[in-house]
Structures are given as C-alpha cells and as structure tokens.
Amino acid sequence: MANLSVKNLHVSIEENEILKGLDLEIKGGEIHAIMGPNGTGKSTLAYSLMGHPAYDIVDGQVLFDGEDLLEMGPDERSRAGLFLAFQYPVSIPGVTVANFLRTAVNARRRAENPDDKGISILEFRKMLKEKMDLLKMDHAFAGRYLNEGFSGGEKKRAEILQMATLQPKIAILDETDSGLDIDALRIVSDGVNALAGPEMGVLVITHYQRLLNYIKPDYVHIMFDGRIVESGGPELALKLEEEGYDWIREKYEAVAA
Ligand code: ADP
Ligand code: MG
C-alpha cells in the first residue's frame, strides 16, 4: 500500500508556469485517471513526478508514503516504488528486452545493498516467464532487441513488462501517444488490469476517453490549465466522451484568464 499526495504543485518550464497549484491524492491500490485537453500540463505532471531536470518545482509538496518525493533523485523515486512509463523509449541496439530488465532489477538490488551479487540468470528467467505468462505475452519477446524496430504495440509491451518486473507501488502511465492504436490500447489496458490491485495503484494520464473503456478507473480527474478542476467517478469520463471538453473550457477559461 502506498500513498501519493500532491499538494498545491506549481511547476515552470523556462519561466513559464505550467502547473498552477495541482492537488491529487492516490491511496494504495486505487486506479486514477487524469484527462484533459492537449497543452494543459498532463505530461508536465508526469515528468515532474519523475524528477525530470527541465521542470522547475516552484511551489508545493509531493509526499510518497510520507516521504518528500521532490527531495529524491529519479532513481530513488523508482526504488521507493514509483514507476513512470517512458512515452518515447529509446532503442538500445544489441540489448535484449530480457537483458535490459535484468540490468534494471540488478541496479535496484545493488542500490539497496552494494554487496548484492545480482539475481541469477536462472532465477531471473523464471521470474520473467511468470510475468510474461501473467501478461499473456509470447516468451520470444524477451529475446528481441529493445525497441529496435518495435511497433507502437511492442513498445507498450516492453513498458508493461518493465512495470511487471519492477513491481512498483504506484505506476504512472502517460498515454498521450498519438500512436495508441487498438493493439497498443489493449496491451496497456490488459497489463494495467492484470497488475493493478492492493499492491499497485495506477495513475493513467490520457487525452482519450476510449482508453477508459478498457481500464476502469476508480476516480477520474479533469485537468485544465495546470490544475485539476473536476474530480469524480467513471461517469466523468463518459460525460467527456459525450460532450467533449467545451464545457470545461467554458466553465474554467474565465477563471484561468
Ligand atoms: P499535455 O500533456 O497536457 O498535452 P504538456 O504538459 O505536454 O501538456 O504541456 C503543457 C504546456 O507546457 C504546453 O503549453 C507546452 O507548450 C508547454 N511545454 C511543454 N514542454 C515544454 C518545454 N520543454 N519547453 C517549453 N514549454 C513546454
Ligand atoms: Mg502530454
């Protein structure tokens, strides 16, 4: 069980304030969705939580299990149990998916204990197979070179497998990717649904309502102009599907201006 608590978060990029006092609470095991028009700062929130250096935290507080997340480096955040899916993962020629994941697992183990000898190949293979079975993935995928010639769907598959292997307490997925075709959509949502539970909370960030036909969030938040302006249940996503974002603009544009 983990809690993520974001209070009054203000974030700037190159002197432009993008997040303007954002509040969000995620309790262990909950599935939250943030939706909002393009340019409202959804990815900025994801990058800020990840600790990307381009994003200046101007004000506010983020607690992860009571610890000050903003004081931690990106690797510490990951070790503490926060996972952020890479929206545009790099390809690493000559490194297989399995090698990449084993390196990630070992890096984490060594960070916790410098004397750690690392997971044995046998033990790792067993673990990876279990994860791939859970995610209904073909075992051959582990032998592919990471992201080399990967389709959008395969990139998502690598991302979800990484999430399964690292077993985060809270996973944040920024799905603005315009390449989210139906295949990729299924992979992300099946993966989230297989892994989410009391041990893992999820924050899905998406512009598209259709993702939420597959992932059933407990809470839906609408973001506009750097803040969360509405919060509710899944019915809020349905309202957006039917009515679009115009009513949000009308209701909050005046406030924002
Ligand atoms: P969303 O994910 O909701 O579409 P973003 O967080 O990507 O929104 O962007 C929010 C705002 O920040 C946009 O106005 C965008 O132009 C601006 N922005 C994003 N990244 C940068 C950057 N690296 N430098 C300057 N402005 C940026
Ligand atoms: Mg975005």
Q: Ligand 1 centre and the CA of 225: distance in Å?
A: 11
The pLDDT confidence band at residue 175, using thresholds 50, 70 and 90, is: confident
Q: Smallest Cα–Cα separation from 204: which of 212, 75, 18, 29?
A: 212
> According to the model, what pLDDT value does residue 179 have?
60
One-letter amino acid of 20: K
Cα gap 174→217, rounded to integer Å: 15
Cα gap 201→172, rounded to integer Å: 9
Mean pLDDT of 140-144: 95
Q: Is the pLDDT of residue 188 over 90?
A: no
> According to the model, what pLDDT value does residue 210 have?
81
Q: Ligand 2 centre and the CA of 15: distance in Å?
A: 19
Give the helix/strand (H/E) hosting 238.
helix 235-243
Mean pLDDT of 157-164: 92
Cα gap 63→67, rounded to integer Å: 5
Q: Which ligand is nearest to the CA of 44?
A: 1
Q: At what angle do helices 97-112 and 152-166 cross, to 10 degrees?
A: 30
Domain boundaries, the chain: 3-91+168-256
> According to the model, what pLDDT value does residue 14 have?
93
CATH 3.30.420.270 describes domain 3-91+168-256: no
**Average predicted confidence (pLDDT) for the chain:** 90
Mean pLDDT of 101-122: 91
> According to the model, what pLDDT value does residue 107 have?
87
Asked if 204 and 33 touch (Cβ cutoff 8 Å), the reply is yes
Q: Which ligand is nearest to the CA of 176?
A: 2
The pLDDT confidence band at residue 185, using thresholds 50, 70 and 90, is: confident
Mean pLDDT of 61-67: 96
Q: Which ligand is nearest to the CA of 54?
A: 1
Q: Is the pLDDT of residue 177 over 70?
A: no
The pLDDT confidence band at residue 169, using thresholds 50, 70 and 90, is: very high
Which DSSP state fits 92? Answer: -
Cα gap 220→133, rounded to integer Å: 30
pTM: 0.91
Cα gap 45→10, rounded to integer Å: 10
Measured from the CA of 223, which atom of ligand 1 is nearest?
3
Q: Is the pLDDT of residue 253 over 80?
A: yes
Cα gap 115→138, rounded to integer Å: 34
Q: Ligand 1 centre and the CA of 165: distance in Å?
A: 30
Mean pLDDT of 134-149: 91
> According to the model, what pLDDT value does residue 257 have?
59
The pLDDT confidence band at residue 71, using thresholds 50, 70 and 90, is: very high
- Residue identifier of the C-alpha nearest atom 18 of ligand 1: 13
> According to the model, what pLDDT value does residue 248 have?
94
In the structure, ligand 2 is a single-atom ion and the residues with CB under 5 Å from it are 42-43, 176
Asked if 23 and 6 touch (Cβ cutoff 8 Å), the reply is yes
Q: Smallest Cα–Cα separation from 35: which of 233, 257, 253?
A: 233
Measured from the CA of 205, which atom of ligand 1 is nearest?
2
Q: Ligand 1 centre and the CA of 44: distance in Å?
A: 6
Q: At what angle do helices 152-166 and 121-134 cross, to 10 degrees?
A: 120
Q: Is the pLDDT of residue 1 over 80?
A: no
Q: Using a 6 Å CB cutoff, which residues line ligand 1?
A: 13-14, 16, 18, 36, 38-44, 54, 176
